[in-house]
A and B are shown apart, each in its own frame.
Chain A
Amino acid sequence: MVKLADRPLGQTSTVQSVEGSRAFRRRLLEMGLVPGVGVRIVTVAPLGDPLQIEVRGGQWSIRRDEAAQITVEDV
């Protein structure tokens, strides 16, 4: 049980749960970041935040504190 924000770069993990405000959470779920799906951090922006994550082959930018709302486990 770790936060996505704490995962090392490039390592794929599986989504366990998504927390956070309702609208934000719903948006993540709707784009397919649902429990059971694989996710990994691809790059970190030059200033350390946000993160580029890959979900279902799509690339997204997400802030570090938002990625801390996503609980994942190792594959």
Chain B
Amino acid sequence: MNAAAEPKRLHVVLAGNPNVGKTTLFNALTGSSAKVSNYPGITVDRKRGKLQLPGGRTAEIDDVPGTYSVNARSAEEQIALDALVGLADAPVPDVVVVCVDATSVARSCYLLLQLQELGARCVVALTMVDEAAAATPDAKDLAALLGCDVVPVTARTGAGLPQLIAAIDRASHAERRTTWRWEPGASLREKLQTVRAALPAEWTTTELHGAADDRADNALALWALTCIEPRGKGDDDELIVPDALRTAAVSAGATADVDNEAVLGRWTWLDREIPALIKKRVNRDRTQSIDRVLLHRVAGFLVFLAVMTMVFACLFWGADPLISGIEWLFDKLGGLVRSLLGDGIFTDFLVDGVIAGVGSVVVFLPQIMMLFLFLGFLEDCGYLARIAYLMDRVMRAMNLHGRAFVPMLSGFACAIPAVMATRTMERKRDRILTMMVVPLMTCSARLPIYSLVIAALLPGSHLVQAMLLVGMYLFSVITSLFAAFVLSRTVKPLKAKRLPFLIELPPYRLPRIKDVIRSMRTKSFMFLREAGTVILGCSIVLWALLYFPRELPKGSPDFPTLIEKAPTPAAKETLQDQRAALRLENSFGGKLGHTIEPVIKPLGFDWKIGVGIIGAFAAREVFVSTLGIVFGLQDADETSTPLRDSLRHEKKADGSRAYTPLMGLSLMIFFALACQCMSTLAVVRRESGSWRWPAFLFTYMTVLAYVVSFVVYQGGKLLGFS
């Protein structure tokens, strides 16, 4: 190679089973250079970092999602194959670093065997050596057996990292070698040949490695035979493969016999060779004794309740001071800007549109950060998998994944972090179904609305009112579980096929705080960057909707003169409030409220509630302050007595009460069920990868809210309630 020419940048990928310390190793190798983005269309983190090789060369290194095998059932799992082989848009890796867990060598080596069949240049990073202790196989013996470098590493201390980097460098200069540890029989060989012919040109070694290699092509053909199923007949999402390849694989006879021959062939080799290298059993006493308590029928359940209560309490109450602090800060900032710029449309835009909008994004951060701190900790110590184990029976009844429990619980605090927490589930179908029902949980933003309505419209003792509030919580739990049940049976992409529930319960380990914080930071930045911008944009649009036009309708009182002449400050304030109320009524949003009045009338709502509902789209709690302005009460909150009184005493044209207890109930049910939250929609869009799902979410929840409120209000009236 010409030294002066720009050398091609080396591409390395890091592969391995889940729970083998892959992320820790990746963080240790890449330091602060790692960047996290998304695979297109799919919410799987794509982590890429830089690696300094000897001789001044730089390599880029990708972290592949943890996988037990390159075989995939879904487009999601196919990402690992694409990255490891270099299919789709993924670059062909020059070197694959395979993490082999010293405490479970045979299972980790299964993936390595598959990669060697595919002709990858492999280097083994032997992880968890401190945990395996005397059970760790000798690196030299293992290297001789596997035919590639084996480097014991301890990512915590950095031990072995320079040797691993040197091994990567060596491997990058080596010739590619394809190794099969088992021989396919005559019938399978025939099938492989047929399918190989159908591989698209860009999937063949001629294209990928620059030189034809029949056996590596066979390995890809074997992958096709094992994984591709007839269209519409598969157990899971369909793989993204060319039609010709699908037809060839299916017609060549992709049966369980193929799986047997290949999988058992590899395991026979592993069972023959690996045990000789392991001199001692791994000591798992600690994990076993912890499990005796944490998975115990009674004790385990109590611990589970305690942990979940703590998570919930932190999200619900613990985040509160921080949230108030952020609100206070943005409020003060707005005030400061206003005092600097003076009143005017531009100031209003800056303060009420932009600054308030940014505030409404930042305000989610405390809960997001707390939840991901918990999730990272629970995941890394091994308990999250056990939560799924403990809750699977309940969640499965609704066709939800056991891991959906934590997101659902978080939904009581806020749907935004809860939707983001669905990432702990590996399958897209499980994630989307959870995202579709989490927004039904009573989030903390609904509380102010319930408090206001209950206090103003639903009279009764404090006990009755408290029971009503508890009732709203129960109602939300029941509806969300019921929604999961119905959606998973009616909406095609959410239908539960026979989804196997096979979850590894990893050994308990002390989490590395650095890794947990790093993942928390990444998630928070991603939220700010991708969902935050959408939320900000929507806030500004909503602000404009309720702000313009500024002119008051004809025939309005001459407010400037009146305010000028107001005898007392109180009278002046009343006039200003009246003007604000008139302006809001005359704004686009106010007119929209009037326009939708015929539609919401059957639910018992008038145009004023309509304007509140439109304003609430920015965030549910905004309903209260918008309603306050409509009633000429600026700065009202849910505890403000004037607002409660106004609601209670509001009269219809015929002099009867405008807002009855029945209408109050209808209103609470509407807010319980409707997706009145643009932030939820923005984050679902971000997590599901398309606008299709948030559109579906919004539609189904709004229709549900409308129908149920309608039935409650009209039914209640028929039964003689008011």
Contact = CB atoms under 8 A, between A and B. Distances in A.
Given A22-B259, A23-B236, A29-B264, A56 B106 contact: yes
Contact of B263 (A23, A26, A44): A26
Contacts of B321: none
A30 B68 contact: yes
A15 to B, nearest CB: 11
Contact of A30 (B263, B291, B394, B505): B263
A59 B505 contact: yes
A61 B284 contact: no
Interface stretch (B295-303, B475-483, B695-703): B295-303
A50 B179 CA distance: 39
B501 A58 contact: no
Interface stretch (B382-390, B457-465, B628-636): B382-390
Contacts of B234: 23
A34 interface: yes
Interface in B257-276: 259-260, 263-264, 267
Contacts of B503: 60-61
Nearest to B103: A57
Nearest to B101: A58
A6 interface: no
B500 A27 contact: yes
A50 B229 CA distance: 28
B390 A22 contact: no
B226 interface: yes
Interface string B390-421: 10111010000010000000000000000000
What size tier do the contact residues of chain A reach? 20 to 34
Contacts of B264: 29, 34-35
Contacts of A24: 235, 498, 500, 502
Interface string B213-243: 0000000000000100100001110000000
B70 to A, nearest CB: 10
B256 interface: yes
Given A21-B500, A57-B281, A60-B502, A42 B71 contact: no
A32 B106 contact: yes
Contacts of A57: 103-104, 281-282, 284
Given A26-B71, A29-B264, A31-B68, A56 B388 contact: no
A5 B151 CA distance: 40
B68 A25 contact: no
B330 interface: no
Nearest to A49: B393
B504 interface: yes
B392 A58 contact: no
A46 B390 contact: yes
Interface in A21-69: 21-32, 34-35, 42-50, 52, 56-63, 66
Contacts of A61: 385, 388-389, 392, 402, 501-505
A31 B301 contact: no
B107 interface: yes
Contacts of B301: 46
Contacts of B291: 42-43, 52, 59
Contact of A31 (B260, B287, B298, B502): B502
A48 to B, nearest CB: 7
Contact of B110 (A30, A44, A60): A30
Nearest to B73: A23
Contacts of B68: 27, 30-31
A58 B504 contact: yes
B501 A29 contact: no
Contacts of B390: 45-46
Contacts of A48: 393
Nearest to B236: A23
Interface string B51-74: 000000000000000001101010
Question: Sorted from nearest, which 9 A-B pairs have the closest CB atoms?
Answer: A47-B393, A24-B500, A59-B505, A61-B389, A29-B263, A23-B235, A61-B503, A30-B69, A43-B295
25 contacts: A22-B235, A22-B259, A24-B498, A24-B502, A25-B256, A26-B259, A26-B263, A30-B69, A30-B110, A34-B263, A35-B264, A42-B291, A43-B291, A47-B393, A52-B505, A59-B287, A59-B506, A60-B502, A60-B503, A61-B385, A61-B388, A61-B389, A61-B392, A63-B392, A66-B501
Given A32-B106, A42-B291, 6 more contacts: A22-B259, A26-B263, A46-B300, A50-B392, A63-B392, A66-B502
Interface of A: 20-32, 34-35, 42-50, 52, 56-63, 66
